[in-house]
Amino acid sequence: MLESWCEKAYEMGAWEALLYIGYHTGDGSRYVNEVKRRVLKNENLAIRKLAWLYDGGLFIEKDLKEAARLYELFLTQAKEPYPILLRSIHYDLAKIYTKLEDWPNVIINAQYVIDQKLGDGSDTLAKALKEDAVVAMNN
């Protein structure tokens, strides 16, 4: 039932429905293929989704460098006036760069989150990432 509903949603243009089909069947290849096809058309939402897939290793081999590259591409093209989304991307980048031990980029992205101060506690988490990066750079 879920799969047929998602297929109908996909046919009506809701391509994100392929993600739920992938969750349901355990095969997310259609979703990955659709996202990659849309990335080739330079659709910013698809770029963000592909970065998310690479970051988490969902339906695709985990690749933090590619995730970071795609998130950075998303940010250079972002026209959305959604500070929460942009802050979330910067926070994800700070975490990725921490894993890659790219301390200058951890600091840059964490500082963006800190500067936003939206009151949800993410600035505290970003401060910790930044402090750890500064310590790592000085060691």
pLDDT exceeds 70 at position 83? yes
pTM of the model: 0.90
Are the beta carbons of 91 and 122 closer than 8 angstroms? yes
What is the amino acid identity at position 88?
S
Cα dist. 87→5, 52, 108 in Å? 33, 15, 12
* Per-residue pLDDT tens digits for 100-136: 999 999 999 999 999 987 777 788 899 999 999 999 9
pLDDT exceeds 90 at position 84? no
